[in-house]
Amino acid sequence: MDERHQVDPQRRKGRGAITNHTNRFERKSRVAVHDGWDLDEDLPPLRTEVSIERPRSMISRNTSPDLSFDRSINPYRGCEHGCVYCFARPSHAFLGLSPGLDFETKLIARPAAPQVLKRELARKGYRPQPMAIGTNTDPYQPIEGQYRIMRAILRVLADYCHPVTIVTKGTLIERDIDILSEMAGDGLVRVGLSITTLDRDLSRRMEPRVPDPARRLRGIERLAAAGIPVRVSVAPIVPGLTDHEMEQVLTAARNAGAVAATWSVLRLPREVSPLWREWLEANYPNHFNKVMGHIRAMHGGEDYAADWGKRMRGAGPYAVLLAHRFKVACKKLGLVKDLPPLRCDLFQVPAKPGDQLTLF
């Protein structure tokens, strides 16, 4: 790794990425160099910066055969959790920013999201299907505590009786148990809590601003106690680094109250691959060859292959072994793959002031 691209460890303390390479759309790259004139000085730590965006639409559509949903919402762009392996990092390049440290320090909040969502749900001809939230960046990342956009979105979905699935690593979701339990009583919500490892030190290095694993397990307990169906997501599994923990994570989550489980393997699309390799070399150099060897074996000799049906879990003997272990562990623990479908028949657009009420 070229040391010129590294950001000083004190400046990036509490962050996941080591570098902040220029995004793939820029023709020129920027490298910090000492001009030899000034004395060395300590630069300030990287702070989280939040910009505001007013979206024209909130509902993103997809037709991917690898996904179980056809629509999703993203309250934020970028994610302060700083998970170095996050497959969403390349999306920051479309904003003219780096998928490296910019992704976790230069964030976009969308406070107008609830109002825009209301308008879209009220359109004539809209047909409800479960809305997925947390599929790109985490809706319960730390800045949600200030902006409360996710809570306002949930309130809209509850008012419209619209089904929703949520995936998060953030225990801030417990704040919204009042809304979630109300929706769960009507069969309108499912929550997935992601636990990558039970090793606190590894978690802190790999996903620096995520609540530690024990705290996430307590989050499962509190959600389950409120009657909210919780699925544990063992994701991403890192071959040669976290894969040996699969059964332990599933057992701990089941004991905490999870009723279902899913998994996916580490994905390294575009800029994520060099970011991951830099992090792995700096933090676990003795594991580098083993981890990257397994990953390449699962992706046809490459760091990543985006083939439909294979990109989430890889292919080859090691992928087959992981899938078998997961299936056996879930059967033993009573964790199911598929939960009952969420209800779409309750959807209705709330009456606005001045609307004529029906007589029947």
* Tens digit of each residue's pLDDT (9 = 90 or more) over 289-319: 999 999 999 999 999 998 888 888 999 999 9
Mean pLDDT (whole number) for 158-183: 98
Q: Say how far apart CA 330 and CA 353 lie, in whole Å.
A: 50
Q: What integer pLDDT is reported at residue 26 of this predicted model?
A: 81
Lowest model confidence (mean pLDDT) among 23-32, 107-116, 178-187, 192-201? 23-32
- Nearest-angstrom CA–CA distance, 241 and 84: 14
What is the DSSP secondary-structure string of 165-234?
A: EEEES-GGGGGGHHHHHHHHHTT-EEEEEE---S-HHHHHHHSTTSPPHHHHHHHHHHHHHTT--EEEEE
Chain mean position to CA 20: 20
Question: Is 80 exceeded by the pLDDT of residue 21?
Answer: yes
51: which 2 tokens?
């910009």
Where residue 24 falls among pLDDT bands split at 50, 70, 90? confident
Contact 229, 190 (CB under 8 A): yes
User: Under 8 Å CB-to-CB from 260, ≥6 apart: which residues?
Assistant: 229, 230, 231, 232, 335, 336, 337, 338, 339
Sketch out the chain's domains with CATH numbers. 3-24+45-333 (3.80.30.30)
Q: Is the confidence at residue 41, as pLDDT, over 90?
A: no
pLDDT in tens, 95-126: 999 999 999 999 999 999 999 999 999 999 99
